[in-house]
Structure 1
Amino acid sequence: MIKSMTGFGKSILQLPTKKITIEVKSLNSKNLDLNARTPSQYREKELQMRNTIAKALERGKVDFGLYVEATGEETSTKVNEVIVKEYIKQLSAIHNGDSLELMKMAVRMPDALKTEREEIDEKEFKAIETALADALVKIEQYRVDEGKALEKDFAIRIKNISELLKQVIQMDPDRMETVKERLHKAVSDLKEEVDQNRFEQELIYYLEKFDITEEKVRLSNHLEYFDTTLNSADSNGKKLGFITQEIGREINTIGSKSNHAPMQQLVVQMKDELEKIKEQLLNVL
């Protein structure tokens, strides 16, 4: 079973005086690239939450956001009464204006508002950890569902390459006969006497260069190995990527050795299917 690196998970925690929303989303990346956005009062717990996310998601470009919305009467930002009154006093000394206007001006001045740092309540943070775990479960399920779609696509592509390989295998004997005929015709067109024994030796040597028996066997084995790995218990996109490289190497060798237009057309089709697999493999965990 494979998993996608693309996913999204969201959890909402309703507390007596605030609503906390946790969002985790991920895209494909070679390694874990985690970006976190948390309010200042939760910064001391950020590393702990990062470790939890890293352990659960392993790889991907991950964005984690913790958003706090006050729903109660309490607020962490207070009016600094002493400072505001002093500003009003100074402003009234400069200009005898309306008291409401002076108030509006005063609250815009530096230090008119003060933010009191809240200590993190351990019970509250336990609830946040539970909500984070819930969001990670959701993103994990998202990745599994995406992985199932990718797995179906891979299975179709690998089957297509296997079918094309069967056509290559069926075509190969006729291809070799065609190559032999071309060589015989080329020699006969020379209208020169040739040593038949030497010619047969050269022919065998030449045909060995076009022999694709090993490539056909290896390609078949790689396709089976890809399918087996695809259906294994763990998700391993890197391993599938290595197998894909080997598949590509055998397909390229068959193409370079074929010297036969119909077979080269089949090779082009196999390459097309393989490129589609490679593109999708970038999303596999």
Structure 2
Amino acid sequence: MVTSMTGYGRDVTTFHKAKITVEIRSVNHRFLDISTKIPRSLLFLEDKIKKTIQSFFHRGRLDIFISMEGEGVIQQELVVNWGLLDQFVTSLNNIKEQYDLKGEIPVDMVTTVDGLLTVQEVEQGHDEMKESILNAITIACEQVYEMRIQEGSELHSELDTRLGIIQDIVKNLGERRETVIIEYRERIRKRILEYTKDEFVNEESRVLQEIALLAEKGDITEEVLRLNSHVSQFRDTLNNGGAIGRKLDFITQEMHREANTIGSKSNDPQISEWVVALKSEIEKIKEQVQNVE
């Protein structure tokens, strides 16, 4: 089974009077890259969220968005630093006595002292909230996974079609190979005859040996064999499924290298035409493979 790296999932859950929305977007990436954009009050869940994501996916960039509406999941309370307040009031009274000052200490003066009054978050139903959010993450992941599977099935079909075209081209190259060698040898022989005439007769054996060596340099037998091997490896890997994207990318690079070698070796117009078509199909496969997990 082939899995793509593109998908989207969304789930909405409620906790107390708050509505929590979870969204996950997945695109292609060389590795597994997880990015979270969540409220500050939920940062304690970040590691748990990433572990949940890792249990579903091996590759791809996944962006996780969590938003909250309504009354906050984390409520707030005002906390008085009584120790600091005692010191503050005592110090003011001492100043009054020391300098014989009159008047009362105004209440609003208390608010001017840093650290005397602070706002703290109060967690309510911490475990229930964690379970609710992680469950929403799981549901969104399942949706992403399902979308990746669906697109992966389409990718499999498209790659298989392209591979069939490549296989036909390689077959044509293999069949044309022997004819090209014979034609190449004959062209070289005629060219030598034009320039050497009688000398060719006296050195025929050695000249024919040189012709054979020159023809060998244009032989594409090994490249055709390797291309057939790469096509078989690609198809086997495709059918095995799993996290195969990197392996398919490597095989595609090897196929492209063999195509380039054939193009540089051969002077035959028909082979050159097939090589152009071959490289075009390989490029299309390479582009599609980038989205295979």
TM class, shorter-chain normalised? 0.7 to 0.9
Query: What SS does the corresponding residue of 1:69 show, helix, strand or coil?
Result: strand
Query: What SS does the corresponding residue of 1:25 show, helix, strand or coil?
Result: strand
Corresponding residue number in structure 1 for 2:48: 48
Corresponding residue number in structure 1 for 2:150: 145
Conservation of the 8 A alpha-carbon contact between 1:41 and 1:118: no
TM-score normalised to structure 2 length: 0.80
Deviations 1:56-90 (A, max 9, x none): 22221211011111169x994789xxxxxxxxxxx
Give distance in 2, aligned partners of 1:167 and 1:159: 13
Distance 1:265 1:224, change over 3 A: same
Corresponding residue number in structure 2 for 1:69: 69
TM-score normalised to structure 1 length: 0.82
Distance 1:44 1:16, change over 3 A: closer
Conservation of the 8 A alpha-carbon contact between 2:41 and 2:74: no
Taking every aligned residue pair, what percent have the same amino acid on both sides?
A: 34
Corresponding residue number in structure 2 for 1:267: 275
Corresponding residue number in structure 1 for 2:214: 206
Deviations 1:157-199 (A, max 9, x none): 1110111111112222221122112101211210431211101
Query: What SS does the corresponding residue of 2:242 show, helix, strand or coil?
Result: coil
Higher deviation after alignment, 41-50 or 264-273: 41-50
Moved over 3 A (4+): 74-79
Tell me the CA shift for residue 55 of structure 1. Answer: 3.2
Amino acid at match of 1:185: K
Corresponding residue number in structure 2 for 1:13: 13
Give distance in 1, aligned partners of 2:195 and 2:35: 72
Cα root mean square deviation, aligned: 2.4
Give distance in 2, aligned partners of 1:283 and 1:190: 57
Tell me the CA shift for residue 49 of structure 1. Answer: 1.0
Tell me the CA shift for residue 147 of structure 1. Answer: 0.9
Instruction: Tell me which structure has the larger Cα radius of gyration.
Output: 2
Amino acid at match of 2:265: K
Conservation of the 8 A alpha-carbon contact between 1:162 and 1:220: yes
Corresponding residue number in structure 2 for 1:134: 139
Amino acid at match of 1:140: Y
Corresponding residue number in structure 1 for 2:60: 60
Corresponding residue number in structure 2 for 1:160: 165
Tell me the CA shift for residue 146 of structure 1. Answer: 1.1
Give ranges in structure 1 of 5+ residues lacking alignment.
Answer: 80-113
Give distance in 1, aligned partners of 2:285 and 2:234: 11
Corresponding residue number in structure 1 for 2:284: 276
Conservation of the 8 A alpha-carbon contact between 1:5 and 1:143: yes
Query: What SS does the corresponding residue of 1:175 show, helix, strand or coil?
Result: helix
Corresponding residue number in structure 1 for 2:105: none
Tell me the CA shift for residue 40 of structure 1. Answer: 1.4
Tell me the CA shift for residue 115 of structure 1. Answer: 6.3
Give ranges in structure 2 of 5+ residues lacking alignment.
Answer: 79-117
Conservation of the 8 A alpha-carbon contact between 2:74 and 2:121: no
Amino acid at match of 1:236: I
Conservation of the 8 A alpha-carbon contact between 2:74 and 2:122: no
Query: What SS does the corresponding residue of 1:183 show, helix, strand or coil?
Result: helix
Tell me the CA shift for residue 8 of structure 1. Answer: 0.7
